[in-house]
């Protein structure tokens, strides 16, 4: 009787030990997957920042082309991104931008920087969060250095006007 009881206690203890190993393994996998998720989220945000820089620069160049195509003395800015995709000022198809991009950081429309006389002269992201990239910007975007939010990354064309204002 004593041997049988001893075997029952030992088998019960072994099952408890195996159960503890399974719980520890699940906990370790949870910690690991949490770290992988954070890393993946960071990589996605960094990739979106690169897209933001590329598309923002395309929009700034498109605005510049739009304003300059208006001719000397004509300081007309686009009213919408669609004006950059198809210039409404001419009867033929003239494009300055391939398509009306959405803000890659928020997935919504860009925020606009108003232009004198109407329209907009630039865009910026209204996404929440601090940028990962804080230095090594091209000279034209040197104002982006040290910005604490994406709203500080303003892609704008500031043309020289009569008195020579330029940002």
Give residue-wise pLDDT tens across range 28-68.
Answer: 888 877 777 777 878 888 999 999 999 999 999 999 999 99
3-state class (DSSP) for residue 68: helix
Q: Which run of H or E residues covers position 154?
A: strand 154-156
Q: What CA–CA distance (Å, rounded) separates 64 from 85?
A: 13
- At 167 the pLDDT is 46
- One DSSP character per residue, 2-67 reads HHHHHHHHHHHHHHHHHHHHHHHHHHHHHHHHHHHHHHHHHHHHHHHHHHHHHHHHHHHHHHHHHH
- Residue 62 near residue 97 (C-beta atoms within 8 A): yes
What does the longest C-alpha to C-alpha distance in the chain come to?
108
Residue 151 dihedral angles phi and psi, to the nearest 5°? -65, -20
Report pTM: 0.74
- At 28 the pLDDT is 82
The tokens of 84 are what?
């950059």
pLDDT one-digit tens code per residue, 6-20: 565 565 556 677 788
Classify the C-alpha dihedral 50-148-102-59 as positive or negative.
negative
Residue whose token pair is 């620069």: 57
Q: For 4-13, 68-77, 109-118, 142-151, which range has the lowest pLDDT when averaged over its residues?
A: 4-13
- At 117 the pLDDT is 87
Q: pLDDT above 70 covers what percent of the chain?
A: 86
């Amino acid at each position: 009787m004593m041997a049988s009881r001893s075997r029952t206690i030992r088998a019960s203890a072994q099952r408890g030990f195996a159960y503890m190993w399974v719980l520890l393994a699940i906990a370790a996998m949870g910690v690991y997957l949490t770290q992988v998720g954070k890393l993946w989220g960071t990589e996605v945000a960094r990739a979106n920042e690169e897209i933001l820089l590329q598309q923002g620069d395309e929009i700034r160049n498109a605005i510049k082309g739009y304003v300059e195509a208006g001719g000397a003395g004509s300081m007309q800015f686009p009213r919408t991104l669609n004006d950059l995709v198809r210039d409404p000022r001419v009867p033929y198809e003239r494009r300055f931008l391939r398509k009306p991009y959405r803000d890659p950081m928020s997935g919504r429309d860009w925020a606009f920087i108003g232009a004198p006389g109407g329209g907009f002269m630039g865009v910026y992201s209204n996404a929440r969060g601090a940028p990962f990239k804080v230095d090594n910007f091209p000279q034209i975007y040197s104002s982006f250095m040290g910005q604490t939010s994406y709203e500080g990354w303003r892609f704008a064309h500031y043309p020289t006007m009569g008195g020579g204002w330029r940002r």
